[in-house]
Structure 1
Amino acid sequence: MTDPHQDGREKLTGMTAYNGLKLHRRTLRLDGRSYTVLGLRPGTAERFAVNEFHGTWHVVTHRAGALLLGSLLWGMAHQRAQNTVLVVDRPFLDTNPFDAEPSPPIVIAPAHLAPFGDRAARELRRRLPLSTPSEGTVRLRTSGYAEALADTQAWFRNRPPRHFHGYDERHRRPVIGVRAGLLVLPGTAEWLREWAVEIGPLDPARPGAASGLGMVYDCIHTDFSLEVQVFDNYHDRVTAARLAREQLESDPAAPKDPDSLHPLVWDRGTTIHTRMRRNRTARQPRSAPRTTP
């Protein structure tokens, strides 16, 4: 019999909910406070990229990455220890699949437990990537998340009212953005759970996703401060953009300033990616022709 908790994952409602996933734990002194900093372990296969476009920050990933990100948000929503944050840093970050710029690390900070301000962000950024030995592991707890994903409409319909010190929490929106080179996702437990339920189901294979272009997205804030994009060919897109940038940077005639270089990387990366898909399709074995008896 297969162990349902193998590799820290369990099968529920036909989905992989990362309940029990092991995370590294370290203690860092930031802004005069002792913080517990959680992070992914080396065996984690999921990858993420971050970029900014037209004033909106994007987290770009693949199907499993979206589910992992949602699970991390859900787990941090139920975190009880004070001053605990979670960091997604190298090697789990790719250059972005558009212009191949490096991705800033991602920090999930439960606002009800961790006052993660600018000074804490600066001090953490200087310590990344974390090289100190892990002090041990903790397990990500996502109880109830798979059930929420099984019927997201029911979850949103039945969730309790969200209030913060007597005010409707929607009047106190968390400020998502980059601080000291970190993409910080701060939110109370209610907001983190909501984001988790919005992000977790993103699947480019679902019928009608992005008009069949192999991409689906969700803006987790109605003010469009953050968008999560999920591609079915995410890894190929990352590779194509990286190759395009390497080619252009080795060309003496190519522009050096980012505003001129980035559109060229994007265009050439699209061409490389299209060629990669055609080559892969050409290598696929064709079905044997039917024979008439």
Structure 2
Amino acid sequence: MGLRDRGVEIKTPEQIDAMRRAGLVVGQTLETLRAAVRPGISTAELDAIAEDSIRSRGATPSFLGYQDFPASICASVNDEVVHGIPGDRVLAEGDLISIDCGAIVEGWHGDAAISVAVGTVSPEVTRLMEVTEAAMWRGIAAARLGGRVTDISHAIEGYVKRNGRYGILEDYVGHGIGSAMHQPPNVPNFGRPGKGPKIVEGLALAIEPMITLGTKESIVLDDEWTVITADGSWAAHFEHTMTVTSTGTWVLTALDGGEEMLGRLGVPFGGRG
């Protein structure tokens, strides 16, 4: 393992494989949580399901205790964008919940997020989720060996702007990931291409657009964690951990490694095993 570009961590293939194992735990846990989301369930119940899922697979929750965060997932509802603390809140028909989850295997991290409709949501909320998830995949697809980190940023912003009038959070961004959950470099969801560290083998990134139906401005609540939109508009959040190998792109937190979506976007798949 080496360091380049002001603290950017470059992993060996074996270390990337460990991140894949962590990523599979995250992906499997998020699918379990997606199936559990329904009107009447509390965010604390979802957190308990997540912790059991992570630990039963021999991993450790990344979030629990991270800077004193008290839970294994972030559960952000409606106008809560990210970092919502699970608790007594009960989900209702028509809500939108974003669930962020991380796991550690052998010291290596995986990190991903999904937004899930609770029952039937409005068409504009459905479209918000579709645009946010598709923007994440466009960002992942823009990563190429020899390219730059903001190629991803530019692809995300461009897709969002072509598909409606949405807010793109600027104060919260994607990030490097590996032996720690948050590492250099930052991966903004906006900006010019061709900037930032070079994309090389062994670099792993968490790509995570946070998109709103209104403003890009946000407020942190008194719990010092939960981020809400400044205008009360609803938000969606999707995230995957990914890397680029010599043969193509590998989405470490997608159960199929991203092969299906990358194929749709014409991007070579670079997964191993």
Whether these two folds match at TM > 0.5 is no
TM-score tier by shorter-chain length is under 0.3
From the two aligned structures, give the one with the greater helix fraction: 1
What TM-score do you get using the length of structure 1 for normalisation? 0.25
Larger gyration radius, structure 1 or structure 2: 1
